[in-house]
Structure formats: structure tokens, C-alpha cells
Amino acid sequence: MKEFAANVANACKNAFGNFDLIDALEILLFVLAFYYVFKILKNSGAKSVIAVFVLFTLATGIVFVGNVQLKGDTFLVFPIVFAALVMIIFNVEVKRDILNIGNSAPKFLSKETDRQTHVSKEEVERYIADIIRALQNMSKDNIGALIILANDNIPRQVLESGVVMDAHISAQLIEGIFFPKAPLHDGAMVINNYKIQAAGCFLPLTQNANIPKELGTRHRAGIGITETSDVIALIVSEETGIITIAQRGKISRYADYDLLRKTLGDYYWKDLGGEGRKK
């Protein structure tokens, strides 16, 4: 045991005895790469993958710290490559965090609604039913629409680009806003929890070159906002009436009643903390 402790002490002494700016950069790159990989894997629920990743990182660190010959340029290559891979693989998540720094949405809700932290099961069921009814009616009539489900994650500039409404959710209001001759129909509607927070908002367009060419500006805006903010976009095509759901930059086309209900149910019961879903 004493010999092992001595070896560890010597390794630490050799590793940190000549600590310089390059070493600090290496540590920073390791920390950033580790943070994003661990964060994404944790959110995906991949516990076994997390364990393998942690063990691999620890083993790699021990090898580098214990081997003086790996110092210098050779040691710097690994964290640079590792950080570059993280930026490539998880570019959406990294971009989302960067764009949302200090960019929380303002509270447009009234003091009365701010105090309302819980809603009844019946109210949530009505919200879900009204949103689905509006989407399906607009789909049937080939009326384009873009609805963002935002749990306080919409950037401030998006809300400021539209018209603040703070209105109760109803199918009639949603359809009225997206009526082709209505002044706000070309922009996006933001539903924040149990209120229509704003309408006529402008969203960032996705730069993903793999998006199908038949998808127009409305779809690209819906996908783009999900790449930079943790929100859900519900899109109705003006040309085909097809309903599309966008989450984390990915799309699910031809959304039917069951998929819409599942998406809205997950959003409301998760973010509003309702207990009525449990039967």
C-alpha cells in the first residue's frame, strides 16, 4: 500500500511539477468535453453508456498523468481531438447553450397567473383537446401554422419580435390567428404552459442541409428554434396540410391524433407538474 501511494505521489509530482498554460488548456478542454458528453448521455437515460464513458475518461486520465513521456504536444492531441468530436457530434446542444446564455424569457404573465402554479386535470385536458382540434382543422383546410410549446425556454428576442397576448388557449383563437388574412398568420405562436404568450414571432431558420427540399420556411423556422432552445414545434403545411412535430432538430411528419396527444400530454404533465395523468 505504501509503495502504491508513493507511486501515485510521484506520478502527481511528475504531472504537475511543471504545470503551465498548455496544461491548463488541456484540462479546460477535457472538462468542457466531459460536461457535454455526460450531460447529453444523462438526458438520454443511457446509464450504461454513461458508466463506460466515465470509466474510459478516468482510465485515460490515469494513463496520461502516470506517464511523463506523454506530456507536451502528444498529450495535447487527445483533448483537442476529443473536444472537436464533441463539438461535431453534439453541435446542436452546444449551440443551444451558447445562444441561451443570459437569454431567459421575460415574464409577460400577469401577477394573477404567476401565482397559479398548478392546473386541474380537466383544464389540461381542455388545452390539449383545443390545440389538437385547431391543428386538425387547419390541416383539413390547408392553413399553414407554427405553434411553439415553450416551458419558459424561448429566447427573449423571439418574444419581442411578435405581439404579446397572454391569452387563454382555445381552438377558435388559434385558428383565428393563423387565418390566411390575419395580420399575425405568417409568424409563430408561442404557447407557454397554459397561456398563448405571443403570436407573429420570427424564429431562426435551421442551417441543416439535410432537411427535405419540399419543406419551406415555416418548417425550417420550426426546426431551427428546436435546435437552439428546448422547445417543441407543431407545424401545419400550407401546401399539403401535413402536421409535423419538431424536437431537438428532428422531425416527425404525418403526426396523427395519437402522436399529437402523446406529445402534448408529455409536455403538459411534465412541465405543469399535473397529477391527473395518473389513473
DSSP 45-65: T-HHHHHHHHHHHHHHHHHHH
pLDDT above 70 (res 274): no
Quick one: cell of 84?
472537436
Q: What is the pLDDT at residue 170?
A: 96
Closest CA to 223 of 238, 243, 245, 241: 245
pLDDT above 80 (res 30): no
Residue carrying C-alpha cell 409536455: 267
Distance CA 220, CA 203 (A): 9
Q: What is the pLDDT at residue 112?
A: 37
Question: Any idea what the Cα angle at residue 165 is, between residues 161 and 167, rounded to 5°?
Answer: 150
Distance CA 76, CA 64 (A): 10
Residue carrying C-alpha cell 511543471: 18
Q: What is the mean pLDDT of residues 207-232?
A: 91
Closest CA to 224 of 258, 201, 192: 201
pLDDT by residue (tens digit) across 128-186?
999 999 999 999 999 999 999 998 888 888 998 999 999 999 999 999 999 998 999 99
pLDDT by residue (tens digit) across 79-126?
556 656 655 655 655 555 555 545 444 444 333 334 344 678 889 999
pLDDT above 90 (res 73): no
Reported in sequence order, the residue ranges of 80-228 that DSSP labels E, i.e. its strands, are 145-149, 163-168, 188-192, 195-201
Residue type, 240: T
Q: What is the pLDDT at residue 279?
A: 38
Quick one: cell of 77?
492531441
Which residues lie closer than 8 Å to 211 by C-beta, 6 or more apart? 219, 220, 223
Cα 212 versus chain centre, distance: 21
Q: How confident is the model at residue 218 (pLDDT cuts 50, 70, 90)?
A: very high
Residue type, 219: H
pLDDT above 60 (res 127): yes
Closest CA to 82 of 60, 66, 114: 60
The answer to which of 113-117, 189-193, 267-271 has the lowest mean pLDDT is 113-117
